[in-house]
Structure 1
Amino acid sequence: MGLPKLQIALDNDVLSEALYSITQVGDEVDVIEAGTILCLAEGMEAVRCLRALYPDKIILADTKCADAGGTVAKNCALAGANWMTVICCATIPTMKAALKEVQDLQVELYGDWTFAEAETWMEAGLVQVVYHQSRDALFAGETWSEVDLNKIRQLVAMGFKVSVTGGLEMETLRLFAGIDVYAFIAGRGIRDVANPRQAAREFKAEIKRIWG
């Protein structure tokens, strides 16, 4: 079982705010995500700026692409993204087209996806998935459950690199002890606290304590 990565989600509305946020924690995290909100508000300029600031980091464009996979992925790659996301309801041809243009692709798990569908993603060469508690679900009061954890375990057993996200705080990490999580994706739990750099360090220390 490897040490999970720490990914920061920049879901800022404004590029200047995202850049301020990342300067607080960019050296502490493993993956820098230009979040969906940021990509919609500022386009690929957000990715270009993140790449210029952090030439050696993994940069993810969280496009949640549903169509035109090859074109969207090519634009992300040209801007400097290593990885991109597609939504789980995208067709296999869309996913395959996107995967040809970027180093790796994450399938975002929303709605009523099935493990049978997951097998088709694996067969198509996609090995990363992101298991969510969505923003809207969290705002509605939903929390991580044993049902969620069992689904994550099954995806790991199938051979997927599973990242998890959704209202993660340092205290949440212990819920996933014993599961081979690929990355923890945190946003507000690091970005919006009084000392983001210290928060990122504490996240990584807790990850090392549990999985080290």
Structure 2
Amino acid sequence: MREDLLNKLREKHLQIALDFIDLDIAYEIARQTRDLNNVIIEAGTPLVKSQGIAGLLKLRETSKILLADTKTADAGDVEVEIAWRGKADIMTVLGIMDDSTIESAVRRARELKLIVQADLIGVKDTVDRAKELFRLGVDIVGFHVGLDVQKKRNITVASLKEEIAEVGKSGLVSVAGGLTPNSIAELSDLPISIYVVGGAITRSQSPRKVTEEIVNILSNTTIPRR
């Protein structure tokens, strides 16, 4: 299953970030999109913290691929097990943390057949650290321009095209940070496997319609060969 999913992720996917505390709201958005292909449902960090394993299990009912955005900072092996008990396929670690945390998560994830994504939020030298993370066994590296940074520096993930192109030569790449249908179209020529969209979908009056629009954009593009 793990290897099959990694192969599947070589196609372009949309990841819907459900950054809620209320499980009912998150569940309803996920439910509306459950039949669409190449969609990952993300239990956002606030949801994982507020709803725990039970919340993950509930979202599992709506998703073909489930990501638990644990943003693990310590005890990597333990937090992998939390994601596994919630039947997630992918969990996240903070790429800025000590290598021992990354290695602990990777080791336990391999035992439990989960995929590990490292989040580059807060990492200053993204290219070098991303390459190190791949060497440590991480499966996906995520470029993430956090909301606070977007507001303070007036940048989005689209500002990182050169870094994304370079890191994409080494492995699977995810991008997050204020993405919309328009900005996704602008990034479609980059080696990106996963486009993470939150507010453009979750704050829309028609989450299903926006999701379909993005899925259609991605279905008409391919990931450049490395």
Normalised by the size of structure 1, how large is the TM-score? 0.90
Check whether the contact 1:61–1:83 (CA below 8 A) recurs between aligned residues.
Answer: yes
Residue matched to 2:32? 24
Check whether the contact 1:4–1:180 (CA below 8 A) recurs between aligned residues.
Answer: no
Residue in structure 1 matching 2:178, options 167, 188, 192: 167
Question: For the aligned residues, what is the CA RMSD?
Answer: 1.9
Deviation at 1:202, TM superposition (A): 0.5
Whole-Å Cα distance in 2 between the matches of residues 201 and 156 of structure 1? 26
Calculate percent identity across the aligned residue pairs. Answer: 27
Q: 1:117 to 1:210 in 2, by over 3 A?
A: closer
Residue in structure 2 matching 1:156, options 163, 168, 173: 168
**Which ranges in structure 1 are unaligned for 5 or more consecutive residues?**
none
Residue matched to 2:15? 7
**Which ranges in structure 2 are unaligned for 5 or more consecutive residues?**
1-9
Whole-Å Cα distance in 2 between the matches of residues 146 and 203 of structure 1? 16
Deviation at 1:70, TM superposition (A): 0.3
Whole-Å Cα distance in 2 between the matches of residues 143 and 26 of structure 1? 32
Residue matched to 1:42? 51
Q: 1:155 to 1:170 in 2, by over 3 A?
A: same
Deviation at 1:211, TM superposition (A): 3.4
Residue matched to 2:188? 177
Residue matched to 1:121? 133
Whole-Å Cα distance in 2 between the matches of residues 141 and 187 of structure 1? 20
Whole-Å Cα distance in 1 between the matches of residues 56 and 201 of structure 2? 20
The 3-state SS of whatever aligns with 1:110 is coil
Residue matched to 1:135? 147
Check whether the contact 1:110–1:132 (CA below 8 A) recurs between aligned residues.
Answer: yes
How many aligned residue pairs are there? 208
Deviation at 1:146, TM superposition (A): 6.7
Check whether the contact 2:158–2:187 (CA below 8 A) recurs between aligned residues.
Answer: no
Deviation at 1:147, TM superposition (A): 4.9
